[in-house]
A and B are shown apart, each in its own frame.
Chain A
């Protein structure tokens, strides 16, 4: 195939990934096809979270779990190689609306999630940002804990 222009190039790269999957007998579901396409289009080395962000822009129904399962499968089948740059996991950013702003307290023992809002905390965060020379535009907070034993 003569590669002239982005479209042909994109198809060529995508075909290579899909051909690898077919060669190894991997059934191509739609999520796998989308993930393979995003991987093909990536010129950097995206981690699972970056991959999720890019995949989400194409198909928002694909979950983080699907990304991790697919990457694990692709790696086990030598379709992709995992690289460790020693920088740990990428952290995420969350989009939140001001109208229903709240945080979460998560019971690590049971998985129970309790929503809470604390004005004192909100004021403190704004003050910290301001003291550091910023206007706070977004943040999120999850607290993890175990329930205190009741006193008898």
Chain B
């Protein structure tokens, strides 16, 4: 899912997927890793309502 007024940037996508996978590899709980990925996305896209963020990044993460 892509927000209509929020073009996905390579940097954002990379940072989100990297944060998630790095935390998982470090043994972090799934919810902790997912929340971290949400925070990273929200930093790149503060214009996207926070409640929508987990649904947006769901298409990027395994």
Contacts and interface: CB of A to CB of B under 8 A. Distances in A.
A142 interface: yes
Contacts of A52: 30-31
Nearest to B39: A144
Nearest to A67: B58
Interface stretch (A17-25, A35-43, A101-109): A101-109
Interface residues of A, number: 33
Contacts of A109: 11, 15, 43
B58 A104 contact: no
B29 A108 contact: no
A39 B55 CA distance: 18
Chain A interface helix/strand/loop/mixed: mixed
B38 to A, nearest CB: 9
B15 A110 contact: yes
A100 B28 CA distance: 11
Across the A-B interface, the 4 shortest Cβ-Cβ residue pairs: A111-B18, A111-B15, A68-B58, A111-B19
Interface of A: 48-49, 52, 56, 63-69, 71-72, 88-89, 92, 94-96, 100, 104, 106-113, 115, 140, 142, 144
12 contacts: A49-B31, A64-B30, A64-B34, A65-B59, A72-B1, A89-B51, A107-B15, A108-B40, A108-B43, A112-B18, A140-B29, A144-B40
Given A64-B54, A66-B58, A108-B39, 18 more contacts: A52-B31, A63-B34, A64-B58, A65-B58, A68-B54, A72-B1, A89-B50, A89-B51, A104-B23, A104-B36, A106-B19, A106-B39, A109-B43, A110-B18, A111-B19, A113-B23, A115-B26, A142-B32
